[in-house]
Every structure is written in structure tokens, then in C-alpha cells.
């Protein structure tokens, strides 16, 4: 295999390298460019243009790169640092520390970013529920320990806030290792997350891996593989449970589309890359649990133009155990988290998994909310008074249930001034059952809005009643 080559063409993130002697380096292996910058430029091979030329994608900006620069072929996939030394650190796609901390030790173990998923016979499923303390999720779309969950929503409906709250809620309940992948997100969000994790004391059990939106497409495209490689090390070598959070997995697809265009492939549906399904499957199938250790993945997914039929959205959702749909309509009405209770689903919402009582309450809640949705147009045209007695009761309980499923978040406390609430699943079920049975029919709707448990709502209602009597 040829090990020394020379740059012969640079087209943005695409670099052509010629190797004059010997067979060409294999696809998906790394190249190191020697140029006049302090840090070497790393490329990944994605095509053999002819018998002497490889076409590669740069993982950092190529500004200043000229033809004639020397290149060394590594002959192996790009290697990133793994293991206990990376805990508490913020890394980039190549595993370089970006938190102004000390350099990683020279003897830190390294792994290639490309791995086959575990064999189907080795992968294990799990029926254990991953409690989040978020009422609407625990009731209607419970997450699986060792499963994959995704939060789908358009711009500005609360995906990142929900991911941040899940991190916050799991600090006490979850004592394993966490890996957070920030894919194509804003620099501000990365800085806020790092600061918050330092303040909450969970950073020593967490690895932050960032490829921000100002970085080249190659870096954003390969970032999930870097995060997964770190998670797989803790799963396979340390036998530890890993919580993998990705925000935003759509940016991975978007970066893949950019790379595909740069490589000259014809676009497919809606302009996406023709390899969309393959790329998503190759990533998602690596997120798996094996005997003795699980990887639980929670992913935020941007939905372009609120179109849930978008090819990227459907490709990602097909791999999920739990899908949490965020609604712009609910967000506009002030219901946070803006989770659509009718569109969200989970394979765990089964009486054999969550229990008959949980399943009954969840189904009853869905029925009431679905009937309310059907009646909305009638109410808008004619008013609630024109409905029958049974439908008026349904509307009354649906509106109260809708408000009870809203919840203040710890991560928004600085903006709202309202302390966050984490609600145990048993309290969520008890509260919803009481509302559905009519216990709160005579309460003011505002008493149930943005509270934790039903006891808190009851106290709010009692205080409002006393205030009214005193007036």
C-alpha cells in the first residue's frame, strides 16, 4: 500500500490526493496532510478516482491548503481517544480537547471510528422502563433502558430544552457514563451545556463531543461515529451502562447530504443523498445493548418546515423504540413540554411491560384527548354550550388533563422564575387517574397548569379558594 502522496486538487472540503507507487489506501481510512499550519489536516478517503488518485473529505477547514502538499496514508480508520481519560472533557470530531484543559495523556487508548454493530445473536433487548420524571413522556411514551428514543420537532418548539431537562433529571437517578454529541449546533448551546454540567457536578461522568455548525460538513458528518466509539468502549471494555444523547441527529443527515453533493453523487428525494437510509441505519444499528451493559440513546431530530413526512425524519423514526413528537400548536398555546400526546408513541406502552393499570390510564387519557381534538372545530364555531352533556364532560376533563401534563423545567428556572419539577411515575399515574375520574372537575383549570403532582395542584386550588372567600 502506498503511504506517501501529494495533494493534486482542492475543491472546498473535497481533496484529491495522488499516490504514485503501490496500491491505493482503502476506503474509509485516514490521511494526514503536512502543511504550514500548527495542526495537521486529517482527511478520510471516500473514493478511488482512478488507479493513482483517491478522493477524500477534510475533517477541518481547508483554507490555506495548496496543491503539492505532502500526505501520509495511515492505512486504518481515523482513531479517537477513549476510556476514563476522556470523562469530563469536551472533544472535537478527532478527539482533540476543546475545553482549555490539559492535553490528554499520551498513553490514552485509541479506537477507530468505524465498527460493525454487535451481531444480532449478541444484542439484548430490554423491557425496563427508563423513568424521566417528565409526566407526559412517562405516561404516554415511556423510554426503554437500553433503547432508542427520538424527539421530533420543528425550529423553536423545545427539543434542546427537553434534552437538557432529561440530562438534568437523570443526574440523580442515573449513575452510569453519559456521552453527549452536539452535532451542528450553536456554539452558545455547547458553552451553556458545559457550564451547566460543571455546576451540577456531573461532568466527571460525562464526555461532551462537539462538531458545531461553523465546522466543515465532514466534521459534522463523522461526529456521531466519534461519540458512538467512545460509548462502545465503555459498553464493551468497561461493561458500563451508557446514556448517549445526540442533539441534533438531523444535522448528521444534512452534513451527509453536503458531503454527497461535494463528491458528485446525484441527489435523491427532496435533495437528500441517495445513501440516506444506509447511512442512518449504519449509525443507528451500532446503538445496541449487549449482555451486561446497555446503551440508551436519546436523540433530538429537527423536522424541516414541520413536515413529519420528510425522508430524513421517516428514515430516523423507523429505528426508534419511542418517538416523542413536539407540536408547534401546543407550544403556541403555552403548554410545555409541547409533546403531542396523540402522535407520540412507544413500544413499551404495553400492559405486559408497564402494567395493566398504567396501560389503562394511558389509553383512557388518549381517548379523552382524541375526542377533545375532534370537537375543537365544533367548539370554535358554536361554543361548548352546544355540545351534549357527555361531550362537555370530556372537554372539561381533557382541558384539565392537558394542563396537568404541562410541567416547569429545572433548566428554564432562570427564565421563568419557577422551580423545576421531577414527578415519579406513580404520582403521574395517580394524578391522571384522579382527573379522568372527575376529582378535579370543579377545580379552576389554572390550578393544574405548570405543577408537579396532583397534591401541588390541590394546594394551589385550596389557596385560590381561600383567597376568593377572603375577598
Would you tell me how many other CB atoms lie within 10 Å of the CB of residue 265?
14
Q: Outline where DSSP puts E strands in 4-52.
A: 4-11, 14-18, 30-34, 41-48
| Catalytic residue from among 173, 186, 198, 269 | 186
Helix axis angle, 249-262 relative to 276-284, nearest 10°?
140
- Would residue 185 show up in a list of annotated catalytic residues for this protein? yes
Report the alpha-carbon distance of residue 324 to residue 403 in Å, rounded. Answer: 18
Report the alpha-carbon distance of residue 279 to residue 43 in Å, rounded. Answer: 19
Which residues on neighbouring strands pair with residue 41, listed in sequence order? 33
- Phi, psi for residue 6 in degrees, rounded to 5: -145, 140
| Catalytic residue from among 55, 60, 148, 159 | 159
| Catalytic residue from among 44, 131, 165, 185 | 185
- Would residue 52 show up in a list of annotated catalytic residues for this protein? no
29: burial class by Cβ within 10 Å (0-12, 13-18, 19+)? buried
Cβ neighbors of 153 (< 8 A, separation 6 or more) are 159, 300, 301, 302, 303, 325, 326, 327, 328, 338
Nearest in space to 141 (alpha carbons), one of 153, 159, 129: 129
β-strand pairing of 53-58 with 14-18: antiparallel
Q: Which residue has the cell 463531543?
A: 209
- Would residue 148 show up in a list of annotated catalytic residues for this protein? no
Q: What secondary structure letter does DSSP report for 334?
A: T
Nearest in space to 345 (alpha carbons), one of 117, 142, 88: 142
Contact 447, 463 (CB under 8 A): no
Catalytic residues: 159, 185-186
Amino acid at each position: 500500500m502506498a503511504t506517501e502522496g501529494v495533494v493534486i486538487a482542492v475543491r472546498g472540503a473535497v481533496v484529491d490526493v495522488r499516490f504514485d507507487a503501490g496500491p491505493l489506501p482503502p476506503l474509509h481510512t485516514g490521511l494526514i496532510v503536512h502543511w504550514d499550519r500548527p495542526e495537521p489536516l486529517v482527511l478520510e478517503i471516500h473514493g478511488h478516482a482512478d488507479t493513482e488518485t483517491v478522493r477524500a473529505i477534510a475533517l477541518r477547514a481547508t483554507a490555506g491548503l495548496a496543491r503539492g502538499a505532502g500526505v501520509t496514508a495511515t492505512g486504518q480508520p481515523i482513531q479517537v481517544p477513549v476510556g476514563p481519560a476522556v470523562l469530563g472533557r469536551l472533544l472535537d470530531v478527532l478527539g482533540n480537547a476543546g475545553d482549555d484543559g490539559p492535553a490528554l495523556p499520551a498513553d490514552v487508548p485509541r479506537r477507530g471510528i468505524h465498527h460493525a454493530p454487535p451481531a444480532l445473536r449478541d444484542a439484548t433487548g430490554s423491557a425496563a422502563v427508563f423513568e424521566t420524571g417528565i409526566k407526559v413522556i412517562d405516561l404516554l411514551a415511556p423510554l426503554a433502558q437500553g433503547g432508542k428514543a427520538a424527539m421530533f420537532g420543528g425550529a423553536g418548539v423545545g427539543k434542546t430544552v427537553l434534552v437538557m431537562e432529561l440530562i438534568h433529571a437523570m443526574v440523580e437517578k442515573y449513575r452510569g457514563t453519559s456521552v453527549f454529541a452536539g452535532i451542528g449546533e450553536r456554539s452558545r448551546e455547547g458553552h451553556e451545556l458545559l457550564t451547566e454540567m460543571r455546576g451540577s457536578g456531573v461532568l466527571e461522568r460525562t464526555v461532551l463531543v462537539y462538531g458545531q455548525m461553523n465546522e466543515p460538513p465532514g466534521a459534522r458528518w463523522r461526529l456521531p461515529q466519534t461519540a458512538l466509539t467512545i460509548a462502545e468502549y465503555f459498553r464493551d471494555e468497561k461493561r458500563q451502562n451508557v446514556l448517549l444523547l445526540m442533539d441534533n441527529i438531523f444535522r448528521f443527515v444534512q452534513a451527509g447530504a453536503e458531503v454527497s453533493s461535494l463528491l458528485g453523487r446525484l441527489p435523491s428525494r427532496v435533495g437528500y443523498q441517495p445513501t440516506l437510509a444506509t447511512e442512518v441505519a449504519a449509525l443507528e444499528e451500532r446503538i445496541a445493548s449487549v449482555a451486561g451493559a446497555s446503551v440508551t440513546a436519546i436523540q433530538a431530530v429537527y423536522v424541516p418546515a414541520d413536515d413529519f413526512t420528510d425522508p430524513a425524519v421517516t428514515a430516523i423514526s423507523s429505528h426508534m423504540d419511542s418517538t416523542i413528537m413536539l407540536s408547534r400548536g401546543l407550544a403556541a398555546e403555552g403548554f410545555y413540554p409541547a409533546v403531542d400526546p396523540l402522535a407520540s408513541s412507544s413500544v413499551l406502552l404495553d400492559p405486559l411491560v408497564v402494567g395493566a393499570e398504567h396501560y389503562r390510564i394511558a389509553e383512557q387519557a388518549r381517548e379523552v384527548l382524541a375526542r377533545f381534538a375532534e370537537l375543537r372545530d365544533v367548539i370554535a364555531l358554536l361554543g361548548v354550550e352546544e355540545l351534549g352533556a357527555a361531550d362537555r364532560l370530556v372537554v372539561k376533563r381533557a382541558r384539565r388533563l392537558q394542563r396537568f401534563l404541562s410541567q416547569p423545567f429545572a433548566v428554564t428556572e432562570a427564565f421563568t422564575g419557577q422551580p423545576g419539577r421531577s414527578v415519579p411515575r406513580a404520582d403521574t399515574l395517580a394524578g391522571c387517574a384522579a382527573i379522568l375520574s372527575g376529582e378535579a372537575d370543579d377545580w379552576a383549570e389554572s390550578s393544574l397548569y405548570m405543577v408537579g403532582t396532583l397534591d401541588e395542584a390541590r394546594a394551589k386550588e385550596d389557596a385560590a379558594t381561600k383567597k376568593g372567600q377572603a375577598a
